[in-house]
Structure 1
Amino acid sequence: MTMPDSTARLPQLPLLAGRSVALVHEWFGATGGSEAVFLAIADLLPQAERLVLWADEGVDTERLRLNQSWMSNTPLIKSKALALPAMPLVWRTLSNHKFDVVISSSHAFAHTVKLGDPAETRHLSYIHSPARYVWSPDFDGRGSHPALKVPRKVLQKADIRLSKHVHAYAANSREVQGRIQRFWNRDSVVINPPVDVRYFAGAPAQDQYQSRDYLLGIGRWIPYKNFDLIIEIAEAAGMPLVIAGSGPEEERLRQLAATKRVPIHFEVRPERDRLRQLYWGARALLFPAHEDFGIIPVEAQACGTPVLGLRRGGLLETVVDGETGFLLDGLEPGPYAQAIRRLPELDPNRIQWHANSFSSDRFADRMARWIDDETR
């Protein structure tokens, strides 16, 4: 079977050599997919100035060369929902410097930053999603904060008005591409996020030859990730379950797990090596959530682990139904339990091969080409 093509890296000279460049990101968390994308773009442009609203506790801002805004010194950083209405203003006061090229990594309002006259400054924006809190409050329950009810319409209008200077958009998935068109009436190209498939595929032999005798759920323990459903699926399938991650739902999920007959083990904030080990030991990853893209399912597939997930959002791009996992339409545990019985039909080698389509090298190639094309 031929491996996915990896095109020669571009360009030969350093990207945007001789031009002043700013990389802009929202708040910077200790871990996260959007942060990984930002750092991958930064690797392509080591000369760029890196600007963020604030960095969470534990982030080595000096090593990462992150310049934080004045918002980092306010109490607003303790609540992203409360900080959201102020973000457009903060971005407009972030820097007095002017740049030749601005590249924003945005899941809220980073794409509204303006660091130069649009006639002279080329602004490219990589969109993880139009702000869920503003545009899709029903998609993520955190967007239903009472403080956002009144200003939501105002923020939607501001989001469109303050981003007209953006010259080109890239979306992290076809799902997000559709939202960009629907909410902003703007075109975009799709560049899937980078996944370190080489690391996850290259586990030590003792990790690769595990018995695969449990189901696995990984992610932040918040309502829309549906970890309560994951527990119910394991119970319906009669299989042990490992839940890895952290979040505000921990106590409730532990209480629910205690009522089940199957063993359920919680791994709180596992290190990367342990996470890889968990992927390799799992019969399948359970991922019944509507995600913009979803890096976790790709990491699992890099380990030859199939994915059982919801037939929505990013999984439509990352999982080949019937080949690298099974996609289901509802949120009832029964069909998932039935799909688990079909897992022997899937070829682990095919699953791993598919994951290579989302490698870090592929992202770097496509991102470099997009930046080069849009800044000529």
Structure 2
Amino acid sequence: MSTTAGQTPPVGQQGGLPALADSSVALVHEWFGVTGGSEKVFRHIADLVPHAERFVLWKDSGVEEPQLRESWLARTPLRHSKAAALPLMPMTWRTLTRQRFDVVISSSHAFAHTVKLGPPETTRHLSYVHAPARYIWSPAFDGRGSSPLLALPRRALQAVDVRFSRHVHSYAANSREVQARIRHYWRRDAVVVNPPVDVDYFSSAPAADQAQPRDYLLGVGRWIPYKRFDLIIEIAEAAGLPVVIAGSGPEEANLRRLAERVRVPVTVEVMPSMERLRQLYWGARALLFPVHEDFGIIPVEAQACGTPVIGINRGGLLETVVDGETGFLIDSTTPDRFAALTARLGELHTDRIRANAATFSAATFAAKFSAWVTDAVA
């Protein structure tokens, strides 16, 4: 199996991939949330294959996404509990529909890559992987599935994950980090196709936004424990700088309590709009990102606004941040060590930061994704 995407073919005039123009295609995603990086990627994939049927396990409440066909799980209470539904997901993908397709492309961070909509002799199964399911393969990242009581179920699901995905003809990984995990866990090769980021939108802010004084530190993302927003607040306190945390999640109450105890101003922005998020990026002195992510779209969005990133020297940041040029990467998660780097932000140049972000554009994704698919179906 090839591990390089080859030469870039032209994308069709109507937004479709020429290699799939005469094929019946199914696009498959896990559950579809209101917001999320994997959902954004799936939308870009769907734009490239507009004639494809689109399948998900279920849509979360509030999702207004047309043309998504839900599985039978959507008609059960399990749609409200990903943890409870997890053991049933592989079998759900195998009983999704009686339809058969020439090409199946899955967008997977759990078990979507196990979907089988035709025999491998006549159906090409391709899978774009955001990450092998963390809760069964690497629960230490965020704690889900890490209980010793779950050790046996986790091993059982690992065996199912490998056995039910043998029919996949080709994998693409969203980063070198995920490529390495695919090789380690599944013993399979993968092409690296970084996710698309709307760098044009973030870089083209109104003049008033671009003229902001950049007088605070910023944290953006879901407020869950492994994202370490508590550490972001502690870093700001150690640096003696105001901080804005933007996002939403179950840790909101805990973060608000911590914000009341620290000695620097903490502003909490709940579910900011895209426009407001762009304003926040442009007004920030730096984005703090002390978390090990598979790729991380948020650091690229920040850099598109000329905002440097201070993060840990692991995971996707090794691909998206140029240490000493577009931000700083550090091996420690000690607040004082992070805070010390805020004094060096003047060494970085906005033009260089924005140029780095431009390499992760939607157009770049479309070209690399198209090349991978064309090679894989040839």
| TM interval, short-chain normalised | over 0.9
Q: Distance in 2 between matches of 1:184 and 1:11?
A: 34
Structure 2: give runs of 5+ residues left out of the alignment: 1-7
Match of 2:110 in 1: 108
- Amino acid paired to 1:132: R
Choose from 273, 294, 297 the match for 2:296. 294
- Amino acid paired to 1:203: A
**Alpha-carbon offset, residue 12 of structure 1:** 6.4
RMSD of the alignment, in Å?
A: 1.4
| Matching of residue 265 in structure 1 with residue 267 in structure 2 | yes
Q: Deviations over 1:257-314 (max 9, x none)?
A: 1111100000000000000000000000000000000000000000000000011100
Q: Distance in 2 between matches of 1:145 and 1:26?
A: 24
35 and 110 in structure 1: CA distance in 2 versus 1, 3 angstrom threshold: same
Contact 1:173 1:292 in 2 (8 A): yes
**Alpha-carbon offset, residue 145 of structure 1:** 6.0
| Matching of residue 81 in structure 1 with residue 83 in structure 2 | yes
Alignment of 1:10-25 (within 5 A): 10=11, 14-15=16-17, 16-25=20-29
**Alpha-carbon offset, residue 197 of structure 1:** 0.0
Q: Distance in 1 between matches of 2:311 and 2:364?
A: 24
Secondary structure in structure 1 of the residue aligned to 2:113 = helix
Secondary structure in structure 1 of the residue aligned to 2:141 = coil
- Amino acid paired to 2:145: G
| Matching of residue 173 in structure 1 with residue 178 in structure 2 | no
Match of 2:129 in 1: 127
Alignment of 1:273-284 (within 5 A): 273-284=275-286
Match of 1:344 in 2: 346
- Amino acid paired to 1:96: R
Match of 1:328 in 2: 330
Q: Deviations over 1:145-177 (max 9, x none)?
A: 688443111110010000000000000000000
Match of 1:4 in 2: none
Choose from 251, 254, 259 the match for 1:252. 254
Q: Distance in 1 between matches of 2:175 and 2:319?
A: 8
Q: Distance in 2 between matches of 1:49 and 1:144?
A: 36
Q: Deviations over 1:93-152 (max 9, x none)?
A: 001000000000000000000000100000100000000011011111123368844311
Q: Distance in 2 between matches of 1:30 and 1:58?
A: 6
Secondary structure in structure 2 of the residue aligned to 1:138 = helix
Contact 1:22 1:99 in 2 (8 A): yes
Contact 1:125 1:166 in 2 (8 A): yes
- Amino acid paired to 1:49: E
Percent of aligned pairs with the same amino acid? 67
Q: Deviations over 1:297-354 (max 9, x none)?
A: 0000000000000111000000000000000101101111110000000000100000
| Matching of residue 240 in structure 1 with residue 242 in structure 2 | yes
Q: Distance in 1 between matches of 2:26 and 2:288?
A: 38
Contact 2:182 2:190 in 1 (8 A): yes
Secondary structure in structure 2 of the residue aligned to 1:144 = coil
Q: Distance in 1 between matches of 2:28 and 2:289?
A: 30
Q: Distance in 1 between matches of 2:148 and 2:343?
A: 44
- Amino acid paired to 2:89: M
Choose from 297, 308, 331 the match for 1:306. 308
Q: Distance in 1 between matches of 2:242 and 2:311?
A: 18
Contact 1:11 1:368 in 2 (8 A): no
**Alignment coverage as a number of residue pairs:** 369
Secondary structure in structure 1 of the residue aligned to 2:152 = coil
Q: Distance in 2 between matches of 1:82 and 1:330?
A: 35
TM-score w.r.t. the length of structure 1 is 0.96
| Matching of residue 163 in structure 1 with residue 190 in structure 2 | no
- Amino acid paired to 2:46: A
Match of 2:57 in 1: 53
Choose from 193, 199, 202 the match for 2:201. 199
**Alpha-carbon offset, residue 68 of structure 1:** 0.3
Match of 1:3 in 2: none
- Amino acid paired to 1:314: G
Structure 1: give runs of 5+ residues left out of the alignment: 1-6
Q: Distance in 1 between matches of 2:9 and 2:138?
A: 38
Contact 1:241 1:264 in 2 (8 A): yes
- Amino acid paired to 2:11: L
**Alpha-carbon offset, residue 73 of structure 1:** 1.2
TM-score w.r.t. the length of structure 2 is 0.95
Q: Deviations over 1:221-279 (max 9, x none)?
A: 01110111101100000000000001111111111111111000000000000000000
Contact 1:245 1:270 in 2 (8 A): yes
Q: Distance in 2 between matches of 1:268 and 1:249?
A: 12
Q: Distance in 2 between matches of 1:146 and 1:53?
A: 28
Secondary structure in structure 2 of the residue aligned to 1:195 = coil
